[in-house]
Amino acid sequence: MAKQERCPLADCKQPLERAEQDDSYFIQCPRCGKFVISQTFGVSVHREFLDHMDLMSGLREFIRAENEQGNSPLLITQRWQIDAEKYKPSVWGQKPAEAKGE
Ligand SMILES: [Zn+2]
């Protein structure tokens, strides 16, 4: 079931195991955290991330924030950019993550 892979995050490339579940891959990276990518997104994920290197830090924050809540976020084409954008370090230095009360 598990397959040797490299972390899809463009600035990481950590070797890891990617587990297949239904129509998606569960990825657990020691650096980036836990997240899920759909198989459709998996096909183009490396290229998409390379095309959006400026969103990598936001994406990292998004995954970290979700992991802290006990979730493994699902990354899919188009939507991941919106999520990453929300967590992108902003000019006024506010993180939307802190607005989510638990
Ligand atoms: Zn990684």
Structure confidence by residue, pLDDT tens digits, 49-76? 999 999 999 999 999 999 999 999 999 9
Region of 24 on the Ramachandran plot (φ > 0 left; ψ -120 to 50 alpha; else beta): beta
- Does residue 102 form part of some domain? no
- Does residue 55 form part of some domain? yes
Q: Report the DSSP pairing between strands 33-38 and 74-75.
A: parallel
Q: Which domain holds residue 31?
A: 2-95
How far does residue 77's CA lie from ligand 1's centre (Å)? 18
- Does residue 100 form part of some domain? no
Give me the DSSP letters along 53-79.
Answer: GGGHHHHHHHHHHHHHTT--PEE-TTH
- Does residue 18 form part of some domain? yes
Give the mean pLDDT of the chain: 86
- Does residue 46 form part of some domain? yes
Query: pLDDT of 16-53, one tens digit each?
Result: 888 888 889 999 999 999 999 998 898 899 899 999 99
How far does residue 71's CA lie from ligand 1's centre (Å)? 17
- Does residue 8 form part of some domain? yes
- Does residue 101 form part of some domain? no
Q: Where is 25: in which H helix or E strand?
A: strand 24-29
Residues with beta carbon < 5 A to ion ligand 1? 7, 9, 12, 14, 29, 31-32
How far does residue 7's CA lie from ligand 1's centre (Å)? 5
- Does residue 17 form part of some domain? yes
* C-alpha–C-alpha distance, residues 87 and 59, integer Å: 7
Residue pair 84/38 in contact by the 8 Å Cβ criterion: no
How far does residue 10's CA lie from ligand 1's centre (Å)? 8
pTM: 0.81
How far does residue 6's CA lie from ligand 1's centre (Å)? 8
Number of independent structural domains in the chain? 1
Beta bridge partners of 25: 20, 37
